[in-house]
Each structure stands twice: as structure tokens, then as C-alpha cells.
Structure 1
Amino acid sequence: MKKSYFKKIILILILIIIGIYFIPAPKATFSELYSINDKYSKSLKEFQAKPTKEVTVNGIKWIYYTGGKGAKTILFLHGMGGAYDLWWQQVAEFEKDYNVITYTLPEEINTLEKASNGILKILETEKIDHFYAVGTSMGGYITQYLVSIIPERIEKAVFGNTFPPNNLIEKENATKSKVIPYFPEILISKLATKKINNELVPTAKNNKLLKAFLPSLPFSKKQFINRYYIVIDKFTINPSKYPIKRIPKLIIESDNDPLIQPELRKNIKELYKDAEVYTFHNEGHFPYINASKEFNKVLRNFLNKKNEFLEIEKTITNYFEGRKNANIKQLQSAFSTNASLYTSIDGNEIVIPLTAYLNKVKTDGFQEVKTVILDGDITGSIANFKTKFIYSKKSYTDYLILLSTLNGWKISSKTFTQTN
């Protein structure tokens, strides 16, 4: 009798444990958590009422929003706990004069490659070739990955409150990552809520908007675990390579960010030495939410700046195309009036006036040649670029010195040599 009784007790306990394990995390809407009817809540409700779009990639449905009127596109990439509406304040500001896209990463996605496949499908669907990438936290990490695989398509990149490829996050969370998959979803949700209330909100000056918005974001255990796998997914990036170097970059950080260790903040700035850096003071991990006015101003100022690499590339394109097609007017437009060309033959220095070079191009006529920019550096109003002309039986390497003038960037000197 006692044995049967204990069996029933054990069975009931098992059923209770199973029941607790499968209890979903409690959900609350922003409206339930934020009773203030101010401009922030109004703008969020207006944004969430707008229609979203869907695209399916490898059987997985992606939800995204696109709007705006501008010729340039900004792609906003949310963080580990976010969704497409995380950026509502930026969308409201920038869709006035930009085309904007923001998406929700599906909970099934667990690698950088899968994340990029979905993002690229959205861009393909919307017929977007070149774009500005603005990412925060996990989204900032994905942005770096996109820079590494499709640098030619990214015009500018923003790495907000994020980290570079590293081993630190995985090392510090080694134990947690092993046991959390066995936790019930409701427990993981409670731990996340505790972190929001004890760390994330206090470091954002106890911002009421943030305190209500973060718990209202969609959450599932599967989403939490798979996004962690993205955060620790490794890739290699070499910012010194020209295709990546030519992309203007902005690192946004907060001096009291509770989620990005100081070491990682230091490491990302060391990795992208050419990046601009803007530091928020005492605004925590989500300055685009609780300090949106300042964030939007910083972002707009960055996007409005000229990309001098692109300006120089226009000049070099005129040089390339003018030489190839023997278009003297186009070729001449790339050079300063006082430009000269330099080379050496049998150890003897040769100086060629620009007029002599133009006359030779005119005489030689059209050339079947492949051209490429190998590298380039800009310092203030001067630049040094390395280019190559590849003919069928020979090639030439050029070192071009360019100056910024009232008429744009001009080649002031060209030093060249035959390389095979």
C-alpha cells in the first residue's frame, strides 16, 4: 500500500515538473506596461499598426517592415532580444528621407550564415543593391559579418553597443550555455526579467519607456538559445583590406554598458582603427531607445558625411575608363593640370608631362585592359592609391597621389612600373 502511494506521489511530482517545464513565458503588451499616453507610446502604436511583409527562406518565414521615400536604404539590425519594432523611433525619423528596412530574426535561425541568407533575401525581394547597415548588439555583430562577406554592397556601417569576433563571451558563458537548455522557458524568462530590472534599466537612468518596452518584446526559449549561438559564431574579418577599408564605419558605445565588457569595447575599437567612435555617457545598452534624440542626431550626422573613398573612386574610374577608351576628355578630368608621371627605365628616372601622356593615349587608341584598385589611404586632403592595369601580355602597377581640390579629387602624380 505504501509502495503504491509513493509511486503516485512520484508520478504527481514528475507531472508537476513536466507541467512547469512546458509552461510558456508570460506575455505582456507595451500598452499594459506603459500607461503614459505620450509621443513615444503614440509613435510605437502607430508603427506597430503599419503592415509588415513576409518572405520565406529555406522554409523559414521572415517578417520585415519597409517604408520611406529616399533613394538610399538603411537596413536596421536588432539585438539578441529584439524584433523589427525595436527601431521604431529611428524608422519614424529616417523614413522621411530614406528607404528603411527592419526585420525580426526568426527563432529558428542559429548561425551568422543563416541570418545573412535571410537578410540578403529580403534585400533581393525589395530590389536593394547598396545600403547602409545599422546594427546594435547581436545586430552589430551580424553587421560586421555582412561587411566581411559583401563589402561591395555596404556603403556605410554602424556597429552599435556591440562586440568584435571573440572567445570571451563563449568562455564566460560556458557553464550557463550547457545548463540553460534544460531550464523551463518560464524560468529563463524570469531570469531575463531580473536582468532587465536590476541591470539594463538602472544603467539607462531608470528610463520608464525602456522598462516597459523590453519586457514586451517577443520571447521564447528557442529564440534565446539560438540567438546566443549567433553571438558566439566565429568569423574572420580583415579591416585593412581595401574593400572593407573603403566602408566608413561608426562605432557607437556606452561607457556604462552592462552587456558589453570593457575588454570587448576596447577590442572592437582596436580592430576597426579607422572607425569613428561616439560614446554615450550613462545611457546603458539601448541608447537608441532611451536616448533616441541624441542617437538619431549622431546617426544622421554620420550618414550625411561624404564617403571620400567613393569620391576618389569616381576620379580613378575616369582615369581607368579614359585610358581604356582613349577618351582624352574623361582621362584629363582625372588629373590635376600640373600633374606628371614618373617611372624608371634601366635605373634612369623618367618624368613624363601630362600632355605627353595624353598624346600617347590618343595615338594608342582603345585598349583591352582589366583595371583594379588594390589599396588606398586617405589623410585629410591627400590620398595614396595603388592600382593595376592588366593587359593580355603585360601589366602595370600605379601609385597615385591625389589631392582634394575645389573641383574634387585630382591625381597630382602617377608613379608606375611594369610588373610582368
Structure 2
Amino acid sequence: MNRRAALVAGALSALGVAAVYGLPRPRADLAELYAEVDRATVASLRAFRSAHPVRRLTVDGWAWEYVVLGQGPDTVVFLHGMSGAHDIWWQQLEALAPTHRVLAVTYPSVRTLAELSVGVRAVLDAHGVRSATIVGSSLGGYLAQYLVQHHRDRVERAVFANTFPPNDHLRAAHHHRAVVGRFLPERLVAVAFRDSNNRRILPASQDPALVGAYLAEQAQQPGLKRRLLARYRTVIEPFTVADPAPEDLPLLLLESDNDPLIDADLRAALRATYPTAGVHTFAGGGHFPYLDQPAAYTAALRRFLG
């Protein structure tokens, strides 16, 4: 009865959100979505997308989208979080491309870390990359940890950013929401997604217009519900950190002191899991410091890359 009551309460909560905020409007164009964003930033994102069209690789029946640019001798791979895509990293990709080959992927709706790791490695193989620096944020940081533990030979350096170690907290905190989400129509999932961003993500952001516009754009892409549920399964998937300090593997932890999704306990748990890693904390960086503080973020990466 308690479980049923929780599910009913969750469904009613979602319906209440829909009543307050209204169902999403018809698909907005980019000019409307990014109307409040700095014009130079919008122009930069548009130019990046025009100059670097998406490539596609089919892996085990799933279409992986990605971009690759730069001609440097060393490769840096960027892995996004739950609500992102490859071009959420565009400012870091452009900044590092003159000195590195940089690659960023968009995950298909696979449901396990093993499937995600297969896809990442397949993209690397397609470009003849034996090993690379892995930079992952949130879900991407969790995937980066998995790659280090299970495919150490493919990782030269690793950055675990705004993320968490394997834990039971996320499963317990979001279980009922995920169960309810499976039964909601796509439009109500979009409403709940927008509400969560407005309440939690944007107030912690130094550039809420950009973060809000990018997340709103992602919410308009077909298959939001399927993507979020699949990605949720990967962030609660347990694995063992058998070697917290792999020999000769430089590690860097990036965090924000006001991250609304990765609380102080999870940040401390990550540092405790990797005691030999370097740590850089962004003051007021929120959950997306690479959008909020792109120059500072790139500078931290450059120092780590050497």
C-alpha cells in the first residue's frame, strides 16, 4: 500500500505541475529559445553546429552521434550528462581543438554502462584512437569512472566532473519519480523536466539564460522520456571501484561548491573514493560550470592536460 500510495502521489504531483505550468508549447525555433542569451554566445553555438556537422556510427543497432575536430597528437573525449548532447561542450571543443584532437558523443537510449562503453570505444576505434583523455560530467563522469575500472588501457587521463561515485543515494532518492515517469506521457515528462530545471538547476547557475535555453532545446528533441529513463538506469547501475588509484593514471575531480544535483555528501564521497586525484572547485559553478564559466573550465583542463 505504501508503494502504491507513493506512485499515486507522484502521478498527482506530475499532473499538478502540468496544471500550474501548462503543457509545453509547440516546438520553438532557436531564435525563440535563445532570445535571452548573449548574442555572441548564440552566434558561437550556431557557427559551431554549422562548421561541425554530426557524424553517425551504428554500434549494435544503435546510432551514435558525435563530432570530431582538431589535429593534435593527443585525443580528448567529452562525455555529457543526463540532459545533454555532444555540443553542450562546444566551447571547450573549440578552445582545445588547436592543440588536441577532440571528440564528443551523444548517447543513444542504451540502458547499461557496458553498452555506453561499447559505443564510446567503437567511436574511438573508428578514428584509430587507441587511448585518450576522458572528460565526463555528471552521468558522463560516472561513465568515465566505469571506463577507468573496466577499460583502463583505453584511458590516458581522466576527469570526473560534477559527478558521484557508485552509491545507493541516487537510487533511493529518485526511485519513485522514475517509476512514475514510466507511466507518464511524453508531454508530462517534458513538463516535469522543465519544472525541475526551473526549480533546481537555473537558480544555481551564473548564466541561467544559456543553461535554460540549452536544456529547453534538448527537451524538444524527440524521445525525451526514453532518453531520460535509459540514462537514469545507467546512473544508478552499481559497479565496483576496485582500483581507486590506477598506476600512472592522472585523475582530476572537478566540482562546484553550489552544485544543486551533487550535494556535499556525494562530493565528499567522490573525493574519498579517489584520494590521489587532484581537485578543482568552481565557486558558484552550479551543475554546468562548463557553460557558466567556460574560460575557467577550459583553463582547468589545460592545466591538467599539461
Common fold by TM > 0.5:
yes
The C-alpha deviation readout for 1:234-265, integer Å capped at 9, x for no partner, is 11122356xx2321111011111111122111
The equivalent residue for 1:105 is 107
2:106, 2:144 → 1: CA distance? 15
**3-state secondary structure, aligned to 2:295:** helix
What is the match of residue 274 of structure 2? 272
Name the residue aligned to 2:173: 172
- Output the amino acid matched with 1:113: A
Q: Partner of 1:34 in structure 2? A: 34
SS class of match (1:245)? coil
Contact 1:55–1:61 (Cα < 8 Å) also in 2 = yes
Identity of aligned residues (%): 36
**CA displacement at 1:208 relative to structure 2:** 1.9
- 1:251 equivalenced with 2:256 (yes/no): no
Q: 3-state SS of the aligned residue for 1:106? A: coil
Bigger Rg over Cα:
1
SS at match of 2:163: coil
Q: Which has the higher strand share?
A: 1
Aligned match of 2:5: none
RMSD: 1.9
Q: Is the 8 A contact 1:28 1:215 kept in 2?
A: no
Q: Which residue matches 2:9? A: none
- Tell whether the 8 Å contact from 2:76 to 2:102 is kept in structure 1 after alignment: yes
**TM-score of the superposed pair, with normalisation by structure 2:** 0.87
User: CA shift at 1:171, angstroms?
Assistant: 1.1
Q: Can you list the C-alpha shifts for 1:90-136, whole angstroms capped at 9, x where unaligned?
A: 111011111011011012x1100000011111011010011000000
Q: Distance in 1 between matches of 2:177 and 2:30?
A: 29
Corresponding residue for 2:13? none
Which aligned pairs between 1:83-122 and structure 2 lie closer than 5 A?
Answer: 83-107=85-109, 109-122=110-123
- Aligned to 1:143, the other structure's residue is in SS state helix
State how far apart, in whole Å, the 1-side matches of 2:289 and 2:26 are: 26
Indicate yes or no: 2:55 matched with 1:56. no
Moved more, 193-202 or 112-121: 193-202
Stretches of 4+ moved more than 3 A in 1? 23-30
Which deviations, in whole Å up to 9, do the C-alpha atoms of 1:163-207 show, x marking residues without a partner?
001111001112222221001111111111112122211101353
Name which of 217, 222, 228 aligns with 1:224.
228
Question: Is the partner of 1:247 in helix, strand or coil?
Answer: coil
Distance verdict in 2 for CA 1:220–1:25, change over 3 Å: farther
1:66 paired with 2:88, answer no
Whether the 8 Å contact between 1:30 and 1:213 is mirrored in structure 2 is no
- The one-letter code sitting in structure 2 at the alignment partner of 1:111 is T
| Rounded Cα–Cα distance in structure 1 between residues aligned with 2:225 and 2:26 | 12
> How far apart are the structure 1 equivalents of 2:111 and 2:252?
26
Distance 1:40 1:55, change over 3 A: same
Asked if residue 237 in structure 1 is aligned to residue 237 in structure 2, the reply is: no
**Equivalent pair of 2:244/2:273 in contact (CA under 8 Å):** no
Partner SS state of residue 282, structure 1: coil
AA partner of residue 90 (structure 1)? Q
8 Å Cα contact 1:25-1:185 kept in structure 2 = no
Give the CA deviation at 1:299: 0.8
Deviation, structure 1 residue 61: 1.0
Which structure is higher in RCO with an 8 Å CA cutoff and minimum separation 6? 2
**How far does residue 211 in structure 1 lie from its aligned partner after superposition?**
2.1
Deviations 1:67-98 (CA, angstroms, capped at 9, x unpaired): 10100000000000111111011111011111
After superposing the two structures, state which structure 1 stretch, 209-218 or 29-38, moved more. 29-38
* Greater CA drift, 281-290 or 174-183: 174-183
Q: Is the 2:111–2:233 Cα contact (8 Å) retained in structure 1?
A: yes
> How many residues are treated as equivalent by the alignment?
281
- Contact 1:257–1:283 (8 Å) recurs in 2: yes
Partner of 2:137: 136
Question: Which has a greater percent of helix?
Answer: 2
Partner of 2:286: 284
How does the TM-score come out when normalised to structure 1? Answer: 0.64
Alpha-carbon contact 1:25-1:220 (below 8 Å) kept: no
- Output the CA distance in 1 between the equivalents of 2:120 and 2:84: 15
Q: Show structure 2 runs of 5+ residues with no match.
A: 1-17
Q: Is the 8 A contact 1:162 1:265 kept in 2?
A: yes
Contact kept, 8 Å, 1:239 with 1:271, in 2: the verdict is: no
* Aligned twin of 2:10: none
Alignment partners' CA distance in 2, 1:147 and 1:141: 10
Q: Distance in 1 between matches of 2:153 and 2:25?
A: 42
Q: Distance in 2 between matches of 1:29 and 1:84?
A: 19
Partner deviation per Cα, 1:4-40 (whole Å, 9 max, x = no partner): xxxxxxxxxxxxxxxx9xx999543443222356321
Partner of 1:160: 161
Residue 43 of structure 2 aligns to a residue whose secondary structure is: helix
User: How many angstroms apart in 2 are the aligned matches of 1:207 and 1:195?
Assistant: 14
